[in-house]
Structure 1
């Protein structure tokens, strides 16, 4: 990676900036406790259906997906769209926030600071609302774009194109850092940008395992 050719670095959030598996274990414990205390499986059913339908809509490249996602989840689970929205807000958006700092990957904050020192612009592209998550993680970005803002889920490139437009950056001088090649990698390819994928099984020059990996050394050294 020639960092002199990079002006804008765009990060995915979930699974990229923090250990999503660790967070899900914590949240699963809370959800099971909630379900047992209330003897009510509604939240479990809604969350499972919501995630499955969201993945399907992402694969289909659905436009303005949010209303459709609520509607289809409500129909499949037999609850109202308002109830779906409330459950998602509680269990996907609010409750995880208190766990995020403990699940943040090592050296993420150092990399963000190094990028700023090196004169790079830091952006965020997330399929979920991200500002509260960044605050909980103790991280800052100049531009934050979500799938809701763009009207499309990754791997559609609209979100990445939106971040670049806001930052005034060209595809050739933009780098996307994510954790899912089938989402982040393809979105980057469709937008014409470079990408790096965080994964435990590194192979080739587009993957890394840690945020203090050699590929980031020039930035961390600034």
Structure 2
């Protein structure tokens, strides 16, 4: 069930909010612009490394193409898909992805996170509402660079999940780990209805869509809490 009006959120009953990460906690378009120029600066003087750009393209493309898939070892499978497309080694794919996707962008995240995000997290902490993240990738470094602390971090590639959204495996795992009995007392916040929204529906959790045209999304959430007089 999608929540379209913040007035419909019962803050006094909420036990847990689960957040997607990319595009949900920070402005992904802003980060991509920074990354685009960084890639241009690096590769324009290293044209012999052009294949790295193809690796980045196919790594993302293959993950999108396999949305809703469950495999025994997703962590390795995501690299195998890309390596097969380019007929290169899995080690080469891992090297490029590790640098450009998992490490290089992290220092930019603090300047790309949405306004009011940290203040909203402080309100949740004050209300003793638990916080978790369910990300496509391991989010520990990202959260650290954004100065965000949560009670539980879950990624699609970790053992016990091994499935991509919109399958609800990750959300169900979080509910179990956090010992949530009534799903109506949870909320999943994400930025993609076709993945996060469907995932929330499959898990039976209320869903709130980050509307990217609203730069003050988290500021509005914090105001909504205060207006509830909790």
Is TM-score (shorter-chain normalized) higher than 0.5?
yes
Deviation at 1:68, TM superposition (A): 2.2
1:29 and 2:37 aligned: yes
CA separation in 2, counterparts of 1:118 and 1:20?
A: 29
Q: In structure 2, which of residues 101, 104, 129 is the aligned counterpart of residue 95 of structure 1?
A: 104
CA separation in 2, counterparts of 1:36 and 1:200?
A: 32
> Contact (CA 8 Å) 1:70, 1:81: kept in 2 or not?
yes
CA separation in 2, counterparts of 1:141 and 1:46?
A: 32
1:51 and 2:63 aligned: no
3-state SS of paired residue (2:209): strand
3-state SS of paired residue (1:22): helix
Structure of higher RCO (CA pairs closer than 8 Å, 6+ residues apart): 2
CA separation in 2, counterparts of 1:214 and 1:135?
A: 22
Deviation at 1:148, TM superposition (A): 1.2
Deviation at 1:32, TM superposition (A): 1.4
CA separation in 2, counterparts of 1:103 and 1:215?
A: 19
Runs of at least 4 residues of structure 1 off by over 3 A?
219-222
Q: Following superposition of structure 1 onto structure 2, how do residues 176-215 of structure 1 map, counting pairs within 5 Å?
A: 176-200=188-212, 210-213=217-220
CA separation in 2, counterparts of 1:45 and 1:218?
A: 45
3-state SS of paired residue (2:157): helix
1:13 and 2:25 aligned: no
3-state SS of paired residue (1:183): helix
Deviation at 1:200, TM superposition (A): 3.4
TM-score by length of 2: 0.88
TM-score by length of 1: 0.91
Deviation at 1:214, TM superposition (A): 5.4
